[in-house]
Structure formats: C-alpha cells, structure tokens
C-alpha cells in the first residue's frame, strides 16, 4: 500500500500542526481496533459513542474528558485463576481509546448495559458564536438598532450565565 507523505504540509502551514499530526497518525493507522465502537448521531447536536467492553465491570473502566480529548481506559483486574483455553476469542486485555472532540462538544453522561458502554455527548455552541440576523435600516436608525442588539446580547449572556 502506498504511503502518503505529509511532510510538505508540515512545512507550508502555520498553526495547523495539530491537524497535520492527526492526518499523519490517521494515515499510519496507529489506532488499535480494540475495543470495537460505534459513533452515532442522535440529533443535530447530540452524539453517542457505544463501545463493546464485554468482561469489564464499571470499576475497571475510566472515562476522562480533558481539553478536546475523550479518553476511555479499561484496566482488567488480574485473574489469578489458572486456565487452560482450547480457544480464546474473548479479549480481556487492557486498553486505552482516545477520541478527538470538536469545539464545544461536552460529555453529558455514561452508562453500561449488556456489555456495552454508552457515552453521551452534546455540542453546546455559545450564543455569541451562533449566527444572528442583522436588520437593514437607514443611517438614523442604525445607532438605535445597534443599541437594541447590544441589549438583547446582554440579556442572552445573563440567561446563559444563570
């Protein structure tokens, strides 16, 4: 399989080093395939990650969200029982899975059911970042319109802060 050389991208861009690193890592396929997972779009601003973590209990799993990275770690308690497998198809190994979250995406909860770990995410865009409609008026009405919009923005910020 042909490798994609991203070194020109690193040389010719400034401030996009994180994105270039992510593209480089994706092209190398460094992400392990265990445990398997799904990412589901529940609604316009809601997502759900489902991970197959059969054999793990809730206290053997750790979910952390820091900056724009969601990290799910599973550390299996040591089993001192001597076993002789004829076939071992159920993986019970430790893992760490990282997900890069977009701006304003927050983890709202997690639940475990029937060997599946569900992590709910929601994108909450601040009012200041949402598009707003600007009305067109004459020069005399322009100052009044700007004042009215500033008052509405202050009210929205106070509601968000509460």
pLDDT digits (tens, 9 = 90+) for 20-39: 666 666 666 555 678 889 99
Q: What is the pTM of this model?
A: 0.61
Q: How many CB atoms lie within 10 A of CB 60?
A: 14
Domain range annotation of the chain: 35-78+88-124, 128-161
User: d(Cα 60, Cα 76) in Å, to the nearest integer?
Assistant: 6
CA distances from 37 to 1, 14, 60, 97 (A): 25, 34, 18, 10
pLDDT higher than threshold 60 for residue 13: no
- 35-78+88-124 — its CATH code? 2.60.40.790
Q: How confident is the model at residue 48 (pLDDT cuts 50, 70, 90)?
A: very high
Average predicted confidence (pLDDT) for the chain:
79
Contact 127, 109 (CB under 8 A): no
């Amino acid at each position: 399989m042909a490798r994609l050389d991203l070194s020109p991208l690193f040389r010719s861009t400034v401030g996009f080093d994180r994105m270039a690193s992510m593209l480089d890592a994706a092209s190398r396929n460094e992400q392990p395939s265990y445990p398997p997972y799904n990412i589901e779009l529940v609604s316009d601003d809601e997502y759900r990650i489902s991970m197959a973590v059969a054999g793990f209990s809730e206290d053997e799993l750790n979910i952390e969200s820091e900056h724009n990275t969601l990290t799910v770690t599973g550390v299996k308690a040591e089993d001192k029982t001597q076993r002789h497998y004829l076939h071992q198809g159920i993986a019970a190994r430790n893992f760490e899975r990282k997900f890069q979250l977009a701006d304003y995406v927050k983890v709202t909860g997690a639940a475990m059911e029937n060997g599946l770990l569900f992590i709910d995410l929601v994108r909450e865009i601040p009012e200041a970042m949402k598009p707003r409609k600007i009305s067109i008026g004459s020069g005399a009405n322009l100052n009044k319109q700007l004042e009215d919009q500033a008052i509405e923005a202050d009210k929205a910020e106070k509601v968000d802060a509460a």
